[in-house]
Amino acid sequence: MSKKVLVLGEAREGALRNVSYEAIAAAKQISSGGEVVSVLLGDSVGELANELGKYGADRVITVEHPHLKQYTSDGYGQALLAVIEQENPEAIVFGHTALGKDLSPKIASKLQIGLVSDVTSIEGEGDAAVFIRPIYSGKAFEKVKVKDGIEFITIRPNNIAPLAKDDSKSADVSSMSVDITNLRTIIKEVVRKSTEGVDLSEAKVVIAGGRGVKSEEGFAPLKELADVLGGAVGASRGACDADYCDYSLQIGQTGKVVTPDLYIAAGISGAIQHLAGMSNSKIIVAINKDPEANIFKVADYGIVGDLFEVIPMLIEEFKKLKVNA
């Protein structure tokens, strides 16, 4: 049975986040040939709508309002509930991002429906769709099937591949007017503490440092390696607690969860809390002086050595590979 699936697109600083395209791919699988409708909320997001069509959206609805310029659960919640009431979808897909994690429980509560969060893969399609999600800090996985009501899921970034971009395709774009009122939250100032360049939660390559980097300056070679590989820099909680870097870089149970194609852990012992945030990476490379470090138990490749000797060697070798490519 085909279904109408509503997808929340996410834009940041005038550009769509990659998870928006991944959510469309997930929606296509759930819809089983039905209609996929993307929703864009913001102050001026109309120019981004056509891009969603190239990745598989059949229709795109934009809701623009000054109160949607910055995210608030109040403003976005009012706008999205109005779209849901109008479209009456059989399924809803969000990204399991900071925005998605904050907004999805509010929407689920208002609609009095269940929520399957942090989905990493989908088996089957249509009515037979089964959602796979990690539990117990990634030590086990559960399979969930929604038997009644709207299927509402959030997908973990970097796990469900987006459909190939097709420039010949376009979506039917329409705008919807929603009156955003009685906001209980007012954003007066936004102070960003995040890595420049590649978004850590969506990076294909992550170079993470732990207490073994020894200082703030110790992150310099990690940043250089990340630049060479087009990746992002992350950190363990130990490195953040020691003031080697900002907490916006923290990966782990109380930080960000990442699933890159390549994860290089430098000077990280491998505490269970950290492993919860990165153990599902496709390829894990560990660099540590201690051959008994716990990180080697989850690593695909291990290098026993001083990171300040190993990282510069990797930088030089990767630079050679890029020159000869």
> Scanning the structure block, which residue is given the tokens 């459909």?
163
Torsion of CA 265, 266, 271, 277, to 10 degrees: -30
What are the binding residues?
211, 236-237, 250-254, 267-274, 288
User: For the purposes of burial, counting CB atoms within 10 Å of the CB of 304, is it exposed (0-12), middle (13-18) or buried (19 or more)?
Assistant: middle
Compute the distance between CA of residue 209 and CA of residue 295 in angstroms, rounded to an integer.
12
The structure tokens listed for 311 are: 């990282």
Q: Which residues are annotated as a binding site for FAD?
A: 211, 236-237, 250-254, 267-274, 288
Please tell me the total number of residues recorded for the chain in this structure.
325
Angstrom distance (rounded) from CA 76 to CA 70: 9
Sheet of 116-119, strand order: 116-119, 151-155, 91-95, 5-8, 36-42, 59-64, 172-175
Expressed in angstroms, the distance from the first to the final Cα of the chain is 47
Instruction: State the number of CA atoms in the 13 A half-sphere of 173 facing the CB.
Output: 15
Residue whose pair of structure tokens reads 């989905």 in the numeric block: 119
Maximum Cα interatomic distance, the chain, rounded to a whole number of Å: 61
Q: Cα dist. 313→178, 215, 222 in Å?
A: 56, 20, 12
Cα gap 260→282, rounded to integer Å:
6
299 with 286: CB under 8 angstroms?
yes
Where would I find the beta strands (DSSP E) of 73-184?
91-95, 116-119, 121-123, 130-135, 140-144, 151-155, 172-175
